Amino acid sequence: MPMTDMTNDLVPHYAKADLDDVATEFLAMYCPKALESPMPVPIRHIVTKKMGLRILERHLTEDLSVYGEMCFTNGLAEIYDPDNDEYEEIKVRWGTMIIDPDTLDQRNIGCQNNTIAHEGFHWWKHRDYHILQSVLDKRVAKVHKCPVTKPDESRQGEWTDEMWMEWQAVNIAPRILMPVQTFVPMTERFEAESKTVPFIAQQIVPAQKWIIGKLADFYVVSKESTGIRLDELGILTP
C-alpha cells in the first residue's frame, strides 16, 4: 500500500510514482481477478454491485465540459435540460454517480468507462472530505464535478483540495481500467502479433497504431487513453 499524506480536511496526497499502487489497491479490493489475468475491467459492475453506488445518466452541461459528478450526500444537484435549454436542480441520494450520456453518444464507450472509474475513485478515496464539508450546508448535496480540463501540473503549489482530488482521479482511473500487471504483457502479445499482419508489413498501417487499437478494444477504453498509458509506462515507443 502506498504511503500517503493526509491534509487536515482528509484529502490524501499521493506521489505520481505511487499511482499504479493505488489502482492495484482498488482492484485488489473490488476485482482481484483483473490483476491476475488480462480482462476488460467490469467497472460498471464494480461500482454498482461491489461498491453499492447508483449511476444516473443526465446531461450536466450544454457543452459537455463536465463528464460526470459524484454525489456524496443527500440534497440537490444541478443538471442541464437540453429540451428547455436551462439548468435545473434535482434531488439526489448519497452514493449517486451522475454521468452525462453524451460521454457515450458524442465520445465512446471507453470515455464513459473512464468516467465511471473516475467517479468511483472519488467515492472510494474522497468521500470523507466531502462529508466533512456537508456540515456547513445540508441543503445542497455535496458533489464533486469533474471537468474535462485537467489541473495544470506545473502549478501544483497553487492547487486547492478539489484540484488535488481531480488530479488523482484523472490519473488513477485509466490505471484501474488498464492495470500494469496485465497491460504490459498484453502489449507484448499484440506487439508480437503485429509482426504477422500483412498490411503492417506493407506499411499501410503503422504497427503502433494497430497495437493501440487492439489494446483499446480489449480493455474497452479510448485510443487516446491507451496511447497516454503506453507513454507513461515507457513502452511501445516508435
Average pLDDT, the chain: 91
CA-nearest of 74, 105, 106 to 90 is 74
**153 band by pLDDT with thresholds 50, 70 and 90:** confident
Query: What percent of the chain has a predicted confidence (pLDDT) above 70?
Result: 93
> Residue 188 has what pLDDT?
96
CB contact set of 228 (below 8 Å; sequence gap of 6+):
174
User: With contact defined as beta carbons under 8 Å apart, do 172 and 23 qualify?
Assistant: yes
Amino acid at 12: P
Q: What value does the mean pLDDT take over residues 203-224?
A: 95
Residue range 91-132, pLDDT digits in tens: 999 999 999 999 999 999 999 999 999 999 999 999 988 888
Residue keyed to cell 468507462: 113
Q: What is the pTM of this model?
A: 0.92
CB contact set of 86 (below 8 Å; sequence gap of 6+):
80
> Residue 137 has what pLDDT?
63
Residue range 47-99, pLDDT digits in tens: 999 999 999 999 999 999 999 999 998 888 999 999 999 999 999 999 999 99
> Residue 13 has what pLDDT?
87
User: With contact defined as beta carbons under 8 Å apart, do 111 and 104 qualify?
Assistant: yes
d(CA 77, CA 100): 13
